[in-house]
C-alpha cells in the first residue's frame, strides 16, 4: 500500500513539473497598424519570462535599429486552483521601443533569465516604402534547444481613445529651481504617472518649447519606475525626459510642455453567470501634455566687471606651456584649461591681444569642451589652445590672466588667475631660409630682366587693356538708359494701367475660366464683371465708381470705337449682371459668355492701340 502511494506521488510530481518549467518568449511587433517593418518606422521587442528566477541577461545592441526610450518592465502573478492542487504562474515582461534605421535581416538575443535561456529571434527591416504587411518579422519561444519559429503578424484594428490624460495617466513637469540667475543651470524633468499594468511609449509628437533658454538633453537618471501617492491614489511613476537648461535673459520665462502619444492596455472587469469574474483587455491610446512652468530669471548683479567671461557656476583655471623651446618666427602653443561646473560651453577667455606684449603675435584661441552631466549641472573642462609667435630674441614675459565668473552660491563675482611665464627666446632658423630665398630671388631677377629687354611692348598700348574700361562704361550707359525709361513709364500710373489693362483683364478671365470648369456660376459671373469693368476703368483712365453705361458709351464713341463694339461691351455686362442676380442661363451660355468676353477685350484693345 505504501509503495503504491509513493508511486502515485512520484507520478503526480512528474506531471506537475512542466507547469513549473521556466519559459521565455520573444516577440517583434511593428508599431504601424499596417504591420509593416521598414526603415523609419517604430517597432517593439517584447521579452516575456514565465516562471523564471534569476538575473536577466539581455543583448546590449539592436541590429539595424536605435533604442528610443528606457525599456518598460511589468510583473504579474496568477494562481489557479482545482480540487486537488494549486499552481502559481509568475510572468515578467520587458518591452523595448525602437526605430528602424537600416534595412537588412538582424537578430535579437540570446536572452537568459537565471538558468532559462532562449535562442535569438530574427527580424527583417525593409527599405522605406517596400515593407510588406505582416512580413519580415519572426518570433521564437522556449528553452535551449528550441528552433526559431517564423510567424506572420495579423493586422488588427485596435480601439483608441484620444485625450489629454485623466486620473489613470498624466504627465507632470518640474524644475529644480523656480528662481535662478541668468546662465545658471537648472533641471527640467518630465515624469509619467500611470495606473495601467502595461504601457508602450510611441514617442513625443512635439518638442518642449524653451523660449529664452539654451538646452542640453540628458540621459534619464531615474530609469526604473517607483510608486507614489497622489490624492490618495497610488501611481507607478517613471521619468521620461530630462534636460539641463540655461536661461539667457532675465524676466518671467515660460517653458511649454510637449505632447506624448502613449498606448496602454486597459482592463475591464465584469461578472459572468458561468465563469464568475472575467477580464477583458482593451488597448487605448492617449495624447498627454505636461503642465507649463514659469521660471523667474534674475539679472546678474550690477556693476558687471568689464572682463566678465560670461561663466556662471564654480570654476578653476590653469595654464601650461607644452613646448619650452621658444624661438623667433616659430609658432608655439599656450594652453589654458577652465574646469568646474556650470555653463562651460558658453564661456570665453579675455582678449589676449590686449594683454600680451606687442612683440608677440597671438592668434585666436581654439576651444575644445569635454563635459558631462553630473546631477543637476554640467561638469568638465574647456581647453583653450592659443598659438603665438615671438618676433624678437631675448627675455619674454607672458603675463598672467584673470578669469572672472559669477558664483550663484555666493551671489558675487569671483576672479581666478592663470599664471604667466618668463621665457628666453632663441633665434629661429628662418633667417637662413630667407638668405637662400634671397639668392634664389636674384637669379629670378636676372631672368626677368632679360625677358623685359626682349619684349618692351607696354601693356597700355594693347587693345585688351582698354577693353577693361570700355565694356563697364558701355554697360553703365545701357543701365542708366533702361532705368530712366523705367522711371518715365512708372511716373504716370494711369498710363501704365492703361497699357497693362488687357494683360490684367486676361488674368481675371483665366480665373473666370477656372470657375467655368468647376461649374461655379456665381463666381464665374463675378469674375467676368470684374474683368470687364476693370478693363474699361484702366483703358478709359476712370475710377470704377464713376463708370456707367452712359459715360462708357460716350467715351468709347469719342475714341473712334464703333457703336456696335461699345454696345457689345454694355450688352455683355448686362448679361453677366442678369445671370448673377437672377440665375437662369444654362452651362452652354457660360461658355459663350466667356468667349464673348475674350473677343471683345481683344477687339477693344486693338482699337485703343490704333
Look at residue 405 and tell me whether its pLDDT is greater than 60.
yes
Contact 108, 71 (CB under 8 A): no
At 470 the three-state DSSP class reads: helix
Contact 528, 506 (CB under 8 A): no
Write down the pLDDT at residue 21.
63
Domains contained in the chain, number: 5
pTM score: 0.44
Domain final residue pick, 262, 297, 332: 297
Query: Do 517 and 386 sit in the same domain of this protein?
Result: no
Query: Do 217 and 313 sit in the same domain of this protein?
Result: no
Query: Do 103 and 6 sit in the same domain of this protein?
Result: yes
Crossing angle for the helix pair 587-609 and 521-540, to the nearest 10 degrees: 10
Q: What is the mean pLDDT of residues 469-485?
A: 86
Write down the pLDDT at residue 247.
92
Query: Do 397 and 523 sit in the same domain of this protein?
Result: no
Domain final residue pick, 297, 322, 355: 297
Gap between the Cα atoms of 280 and 403, Å rounded? 66
Look at residue 539 and tell me whether its pLDDT is greater than 70.
yes
Contact 326, 288 (CB under 8 A): no
Look at residue 133 and tell me whether its pLDDT is greater than 50.
yes
Structure confidence by residue, pLDDT tens digits, 166-220? 777 888 899 988 899 999 989 999 888 888 777 766 677 778 888 889 887 676 6
Q: Is residue 447 part of a domain?
A: no
Least confident of 16-30, 53-67, 94-108, 422-436: 422-436
Write down the pLDDT at residue 6.
54
Cell of 350: 579675455
Note down the domain range covering 135.
2-150
Query: Do 146 and 225 sit in the same domain of this protein?
Result: no
Write down the pLDDT at residue 5.
57
What stretch of H or E contains 140?
strand 138-141
- Say what percent of the chain tops pLDDT 70: 73
Q: Is residue 448 part of a domain?
A: no
At 390 the three-state DSSP class reads: strand
pLDDT band, very low/low/confident/very high, at 19 (cuts 50, 70, 90)? very low
Between the ranges 82-91, 218-227, 329-338, 461-470, where is the mean pLDDT highest? 329-338
pLDDT band, very low/low/confident/very high, at 582 (cuts 50, 70, 90)? low
CB within 8 Å of 374: residues ≥ 6 apart:
341
Look at residue 565 and tell me whether its pLDDT is greater than 70.
yes
Cα 187 to its chain centre, rounded Å, is 21
Query: Do 36 and 53 sit in the same domain of this protein?
Result: yes
Write down the pLDDT at residue 581.
67
Contact 414, 314 (CB under 8 A): no
Pairing type for strands 412-418 and 394-398 reads: unpaired
Domain final residue pick, 263, 297, 331: 297
Write down the pLDDT at residue 550.
75
Gap between the Cα atoms of 115 and 113, Å rounded? 6
Query: Do 10 and 144 sit in the same domain of this protein?
Result: yes
Write down the pLDDT at residue 64.
86
Structure confidence by residue, pLDDT tens digits, 66-87? 887 667 677 766 655 444 455 6
Number of H helices, E strands in the chain: 10, 33
Amino acid at each position: 500500500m505504501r509503495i503504491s502511494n509513493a508511486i502515485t506521488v512520484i507520478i503526480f510530481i512528474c506531471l506537475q513539473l512542466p507547469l513549473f518549467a521556466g519559459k521565455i518568449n520573444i516577440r517583434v511587433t511593428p508599431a504601424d497598424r499596417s504591420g509593416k517593418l521598414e526603415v523609419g518606422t517604430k517597432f517593439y521587442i517584447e521579452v516575456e519570462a514565465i516562471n523564471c528566477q534569476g538575473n536577466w541577461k539581455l543583448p546590449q545592441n539592436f541590429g539595424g535599429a536605435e533604442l528610443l526610450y528606457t525599456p518598460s518592465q511589468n510583473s504579474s502573478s496568477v494562481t489557479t486552483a482545482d480540487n486537488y492542487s494549486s499552481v502559481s504562474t509568475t510572468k515578467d515582461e520587458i518591452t523595448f521601443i525602437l526605430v528602424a534605421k537600416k534595412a537588412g535581416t538582424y537578430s535579437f538575443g540570446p536572452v537568459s533569465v537565471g538558468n532559462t535561456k532562449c535562442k535569438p529571434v530574427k527580424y527583417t527591416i525593409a527599405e522605406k516604402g517596400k515593407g510588406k504587411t505582416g512580413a519580415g518579422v519572426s518570433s521564437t519561444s522556449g528553452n535551449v534547444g528550441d528552433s526559431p519559429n517564423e510567424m506572420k503578424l495579423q493586422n488588427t484594428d485596435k480601439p483608441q481613445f484620444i485625450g489629454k490624460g485623466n486620473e489613470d495617466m498624466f504627465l507632470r513637469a518640474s524644475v529644480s529651481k523656480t528662481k535662478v540667475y541668468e546662465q545658471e543651470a537648472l533641471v527640467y524633468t518630465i515624469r509619467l504617472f500611470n495606473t495601467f499594468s502595461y504601457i508602450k511609449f510611441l514617442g513625443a509628437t512635439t518638442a518642449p518649447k524653451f523660449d529664452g533658454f539654451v538646452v542640453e538633453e540628458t540621459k534619464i537618471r531615474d530609469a526604473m519606475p517607483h510608486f507614489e501617492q497622489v490624492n490618495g491614489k497610488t501611481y507607478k511613476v517613471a521619468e521620461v525626459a530630462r534636460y539641463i537648461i540655461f536661461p539667457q535673459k532675465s524676466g518671467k520665462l515660460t517653458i511649454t510642455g510637449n505632447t506624448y502619444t502613449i498606448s496602454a492596455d486597459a482592463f475591464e472587469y465584469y461578472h459572468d453567470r458561468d465563469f464568475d469574474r472575467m477580464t477583458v483587455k482593451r488597448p487605448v491610446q492617449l495624447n498627454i501634455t505636461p503642465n507649463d512652468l514659469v521660471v523667474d530669471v534674475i539679472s546678474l548683479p550690477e556693476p558687471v566687471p568689464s572682463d566678465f567671461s560670461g561663466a556662471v557656476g564654480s570654476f578653476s583655471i590653469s595654464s601650461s606651456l607644452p613646448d619650452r623651446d621658444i624661438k623667433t618666427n616659430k609658432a608655439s602653443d599656450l594652453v589654458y584649461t577652465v574646469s568646474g561646473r556650470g555653463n562651460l560651453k558658453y564661456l570665453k577667455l579675455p582678449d589676449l591681444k590686449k594683454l600680451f606684449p606687442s612683440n608677440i603675435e597671438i592668434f585666436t584661441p581654439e576651444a575644445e569642451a569635454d563635459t558631462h552631466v553630473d546631477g543637476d549641472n554640467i561638469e568638465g573642462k574647456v581647453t583653450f589652445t592659443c598659438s603665438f609667435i615671438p618676433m624678437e630674441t631675448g627675455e619674454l614675459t607672458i603675463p598672467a590672466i584673470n578669469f572672472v565668473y559669477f558664483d550663484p552660491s555666493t551671489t558675487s563675482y569671483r576672479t581666478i588667475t592663470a599664471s604667466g611665464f618668463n621665457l628666453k627666446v632663441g633665434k629661429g632658423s628662418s633667417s637662413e631660409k630667407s638668405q637662400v630665398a634671397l639668392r634664389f630671388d636674384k637669379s629670378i631677377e636676372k631672368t626677368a630682366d632679360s625677358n623685359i629687354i626682349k619684349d618692351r611692348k607696354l601693356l597700355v598700348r594693347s587693345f585688351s587693356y582698354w577693353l577693361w574700361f570700355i565694356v563697364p562704361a558701355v554697360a553703365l550707359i545701357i543701365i542708366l538708359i533702361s532705368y530712366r525709361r523705367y522711371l518715365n513709364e512708372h511716373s504716370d500710373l494711369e498710363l501704365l494701367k492703361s497699357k497693362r489693362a488687357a494683360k490684367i483683364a486676361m488674368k481675371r478671365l483665366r480665373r473666370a475660366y477656372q470657375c467655368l470648369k468647376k461649374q461655379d456660376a456665381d463666381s464665374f459671373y463675378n469674375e467676368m464683371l470684374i474683368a470687364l469693368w476693370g478693363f474699361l476703368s484702366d483703358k478709359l483712365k476712370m475710377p470704377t465708381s464713376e463708370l456707367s453705361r452712359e459715360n462708357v458709351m460716350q467715351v468709347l464713341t469719342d475714341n473712334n470705337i464703333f457703336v456696335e463694339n461699345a454696345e457689345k461691351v454694355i450688352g455683355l455686362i448686362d448679361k453677366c449682371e442678369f445671370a448673377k442676380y437672377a440665375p437662369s442661363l444654362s452651362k452652354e451660355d457660360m461658355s459663350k459668355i466667356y468667349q464673348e468676353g475674350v473677343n471683345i477685350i481683344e477687339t477693344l484693345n486693338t482699337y485703343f492701340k490704333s
